[in-house]
Amino acid sequence: MPKYILDFAATPDNLPVIRYFVQEHLKAHLSDPVRVNQLTVATEELCANSIVHGNHSDPSQKLRLELRIEKQRLHIYLYDPAPPYDLHKYPFPPKLLRKDTNRPGGLGIYLIRQLMDKITVRRRGQQSVYHLVKNLA
């Protein structure tokens, strides 16, 4: 049961680090580059939301990303000290341009919901635990 862990500070500068971490580990298990990319994008979008919106890009806040592959399923866990946000509350599909800001909004969460089979979040102790699942079979 392969399990990979990355600890990182809540700064957008770490997004490429997260991306390469996911890409490198998934490449060892998946041959389709489109699929590897989809799962990389979903993971990065999840982490980006937590870094920017949950933790306000405060590098003193520490998060943990964990990838597990079990029985043809990829499990992505994100342990985040910030309060949880509901990934299901945003419009689906997103408005390409939000009327209030005239900027694109909700695209990242839309991608997560499009690309993953199951998304849950719960509070455990002092952490929010996001759990994303993708069937790899």
Residues of this chain that bind other proteins (CB under 8 A): 12-13, 15-16, 19, 33-34, 36-38, 40-41, 44-45, 48, 52, 93, 96-97, 102-104, 107-108, 110-111, 114-115
Beta bridge partners of 3: 68
Q: Which is nearer to other proteins, 32 or 86 (CB)?
A: 32
**Token reading at 82:** 């910030």
Phi, psi angles (nearest 5°) of residue 98 = -75, 135
Q: Which is nearer to other proteins, 2 or 93 (CB)?
A: 93
In the complex, minimum distance from the CB of residue 78 to other proteins, in angstroms, rounded to a whole number: 16
What is the maximum span of the chain, computed from C-alpha positions, in angstroms? 46
d(CA 83, CA 117): 23
Q: Which is nearer to other proteins, 3 or 12 (CB)?
A: 12
Q: Which is nearer to other proteins, 107 or 121 (CB)?
A: 107
**Token reading at 3:** 């399990």
- HSE, side-chain direction, 13 A CA sphere, residue 134: 22
In the complex, minimum distance from the CB of residue 137 to other proteins, in angstroms, rounded to a whole number: 20
In the complex, minimum distance from the CB of residue 85 to other proteins, in angstroms, rounded to a whole number: 15
